[in-house]
């Protein structure tokens, strides 16, 4: 089972993280793309979606670019997911069918639904500011990668 954001949400979170780290100035899409490894053409589409809901604003001209419109403390990760992916609530049966007695609900519904609700609640509590602080701690070396990190290098003993 793969549980991860879509590419659009991945890029949106990266872009917002960069904008939250550069609050003192407007930033061109090319800079965000280069710093966060995001294709600029796709990034512009994502930034438009974020601008449409008021998370991001833009200025044109030589000193123009994108700015965060809201305080990072007031942008939840859930809000970002909802803007870029839509509602995270169950839209289809987790088992996608089953015996005829499953016409209304499947046997997995309660377990899957409660797990999904826990994820939604966690995303709602986490803010863009939390990501900024985590990113800074990782960069400073004060936040160590967890044992289950997918990027952790396993050195043979």
Task: Provide the CATH number for the domain around residue 56.
Answer: 1.10.10.10
Q: How far apart are the first and last CA of the chain?
A: 30
- Helix or strand (DSSP H, E) at 65: strand 65-68
Task: Take residue 123 and report the two structure tokens written for it.
Answer: 């995303």
Determine, yes or no, domain membership for 95.
Answer: no
Domain that holds residue 59: 7-87+128-140
Find the radius of gyration of the CA atoms of the chain: 19
pLDDT single digits (tens) 104-139: 778 888 898 899 999 999 999 999 999 999 999 999
pLDDT single digits (tens) 65-116: 999 999 999 999 999 999 999 988 777 777 776 666 667 778 888 898 899 9
What is the sign, positive or negative, of the torsion defined by CA atoms of 78, 79, 85, 91?
positive
Residues of 117-142 as b/e, b for ≥16 C-beta within 10 angstroms?
eeebeebeebbbeebbeeeeeeeeee
Which pLDDT does position 153 carry in this prediction?
56
Determine, yes or no, domain membership for 93.
Answer: no
Determine, yes or no, domain membership for 32.
Answer: yes
Task: Name the 3-class secondary structure at 83.
Answer: helix
Q: How many domains does the chain have?
A: 1
Determine, yes or no, domain membership for 18.
Answer: yes
Identify which has the larger pLDDT, 153 or 144: 144
Determine, yes or no, domain membership for 103.
Answer: no
Residue 92: beta bridge partners?
none
38 contact partners, CB below 8 Å, separation of at least 6: 11, 14, 15, 32, 46
Report how far apart, in Å, the C-alpha atoms of 110 and of each of 90, 94, 100, 156 are.
11, 10, 18, 42
């Amino acid at each position: 089972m793969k549980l991860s954001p879509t590419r659009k949400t991945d890029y949106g979170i990266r872009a917002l993280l960069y904008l939250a780290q550069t609050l003192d100035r407007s930033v061109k899409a090319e800079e965000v793309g280069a710093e966060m490894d995001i294709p600029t053409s796709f990034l512009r589409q994502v930034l438009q979606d974020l601008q449409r809901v008021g998370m991001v604003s833009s200025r044109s001209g030589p000193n123009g670019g994108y700015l965060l419109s809201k305080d990072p403390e007031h942008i939840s990760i859930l809000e970002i997911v909802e803007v870029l992916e839509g509602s995270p609530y169950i839209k289809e049966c987790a088992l996608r069918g089953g015996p005829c007695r499953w016409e209304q609900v499947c046997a997995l519904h309660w377990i899957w639904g409660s797990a999904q609700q826990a994820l939604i609640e966690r995303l709602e509590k986490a803010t863009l500011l939390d990501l900024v602080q985590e990113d800074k701690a990782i960069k400073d070396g004060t936040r160590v990668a967890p044992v289950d990190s997918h990027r952790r290098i396993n050195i043979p003993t």
